[in-house]
Amino acid sequence: MVQGEQFIMVTINTPDDLLRVLRERPEWKEAVRREILSEQLMNLPARFDQFVEEQQQFNEEQRQFNEEQRQTNEEQRQFNEEQRQFNDRVDGFIERTNQRFSRIEDDISNMRGEHARNTAIGEAVDIAEYMGFRMLRILSGDDLRELLRTSDTSGIATSELQSFRRADLVMEATDADGNIHYIAVEASNTADERDTRRAIRNAEFLSRFTGQPAHPAVASVRNDHRIRDIIDSGQVYWHALANRESRAE
């Protein structure tokens, strides 16, 4: 034995002997570890602790980001809801405005139609003369109702008969030889296919109910281009009404 040092004789015959010695001598265990393990492996625990700390920091930042994103999404949801409500109010306003304009347009159309009808009635004598006849009388609603009552209307829809009874203008007239004729006039500001169809139908009904020839006519300020051919062909006579709006200017 040397002074200041202690020599220990250790006999190692089995792995268990080695493990026992390493457990009893921690400094030997550390020396063996440094010998066996690389520097990277030696530093692994510290690096792992650093990784855990960084992961925790990342998780906290992610949590904060998620919270901010949740708030942003909530604000966006509220904005979308407010936008939807605003759009609903705008759509409602537009719909109500369109309905008002539609009613105004309908009122104006009805006024123009009524004006055209009144003007056509006032010019009934001229219409008959321009068509080559002399007007005898204008048939009233009661006259048309009586005509339907005393005529064979079988096979004719009720709606058609009601429309006929509401004809804008029906005249009884004579030709140059004194023969009786009837004239069915539909009046409107702008004559269209509906007007020509009703005029032709009413003329056919008059001929059927009276046994006398009848002639369709339209009275209007202007005509839809789709009825130009039927006017030009002479199937329906067109009586031009004066444009009240042009006169106002």
Residue 181 and residue 175 in contact, taking contact as beta carbons nearer than 8 Å: yes
Residue 214 and residue 206 in contact, taking contact as beta carbons nearer than 8 Å:
yes
Q: Is the pLDDT of residue 114 over 50?
A: yes
Q: Return d(Cα 88, Cα 208) in angstroms, integer.
A: 56
Q: Which residues contact 179 (CB under 8 A, 6 or more apart)?
A: 212, 213
**Residue matched to tokens 């009388």:** 137
- CA nearest to 176, candidates 213, 134, 211: 134
Nearest Cα neighbor of 219 from 107, 113, 133, 139 is 113
Do 206 and 165 contact (CB within 8 A), yes or no? no
Q: Are 163 and 198 in contact (CB under 8 A)?
A: yes
- pLDDT interval class at 40 (50, 70, 90): low
Is residue 166 within 8 A of residue 130, CB to CB? The reply is no
Q: What is the pTM of this model?
A: 0.59
User: Taking a C-beta distance cutoff of 8 angstroms, is the pair 133, 183 a contact?
Assistant: yes
Comparing 67 with 203, the larger pLDDT belongs to 203
pLDDT over 80 (residue 102): no
Per-residue pLDDT tens over the stretch 41-58: 667 777 788 888 888 888
- Topology given in CATH for the domain delimited by 123-248: Trna Endonuclease; Chain: A, domain 1 (3.40.1350)
What are the DSSP E strand ranges found in 61-205?
134-138, 169-174, 180-191
